[in-house]
């Protein structure tokens, strides 16, 4: 049976008087043999460490590129997506919620992103009420997305009131386009 012991500096110093009579040259071939046997394993381990490190950094770079692409796609989609609301209301436009679902589904694959859902209102009425209503609209969109089974933990609602008019004109009238998320 072989017994393995941990040799520390202090235990080596304690053994020093017993080791001095032994000629170190007698152990040189044994030490050389051990080094020759261990050296290839150390070199392979070092080579594997290098390969693993290279693979790790290549994967990290690929993930970073994929993440940047994912964030870029999210930005492009969110710049065009709009959910419209009636005056003073929280009932969402169904075509807009479909766009929001697409954004939410894509966000599931973008690790670490936070989606700011901005609610807006038209300028008519009390500004404090409009601010509160705009946040409720943003929360309504997030709630509706969550109800479809999408993870909305990365979504944050913010109400902006009528601070940022849409600038969109169309058949509905300007106020309609301002009531949006």
Domain boundaries of the chain, sorted by first residue: 30-80, 82-178
CB 123 within 8 A of CB 85: no
> At 38, which helix (H) or strand (E)?
helix 28-80
Q: According to the CATH classification, is domain 82-178 in 3.40.47.10?
A: no
Helix (H, G, I), strand (E, B) or coil at 81: coil
Nearest to 180 by CA among 139, 129, 120: 120
Distances in Å between the alpha carbon of 25 and those of 22, 106, 144, 145?
9, 69, 81, 78
Helix (H, G, I), strand (E, B) or coil at 172: coil
Per-residue pLDDT of 11-69, as tens digits, reads 445 544 444 444 445 555 555 655 565 555 555 555 556 666 666 666 666 666 666 78
Which of 59-63, 69-73, 96-100, 175-179 shows the lowest per-residue confidence on average (mean pLDDT)? 59-63
DSSP 63-79: HHHHHHHHHHHHHHHHH
List the structure tokens of 67. Answer: 């993440």
């Amino acid at each position: 049976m072989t017994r393995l012991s941990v040799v520390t500096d202090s235990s080596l110093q304690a053994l020093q008087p017993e080791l001095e009579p032994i000629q170190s040259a007698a152990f040189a071939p044994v030490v050389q043999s051990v080094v020759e046997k261990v050296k290839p394993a150390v070199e392979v381990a070092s080579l594997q460490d290098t390969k693993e490190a290279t693979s790790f950094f290549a994967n990290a770079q690929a993930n970073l590129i994929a993440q940047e692409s994912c964030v870029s796609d999210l930005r492009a989609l969110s710049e065009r997506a709009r959910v419209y609301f009636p005056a003073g209301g929280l009932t969402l436009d169904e075509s807009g919620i479909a766009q929001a679902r697409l954004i939410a589904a894509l966000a599931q694959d973008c690790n670490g992103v936070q989606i700011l859902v901005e609610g807006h209102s038209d300028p008519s009425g009390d500004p404090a009420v409009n601010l509160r209503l705009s946040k409720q609209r943003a929360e309504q969109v997030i709630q509706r997305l969550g109800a479809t089974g999408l993870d909305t933990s990365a979504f944050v609602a913010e109400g902006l009131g009528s601070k940022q008019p849409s600038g969109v004109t169309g058949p509905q009238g300007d106020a309609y386009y301002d009531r949006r998320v």
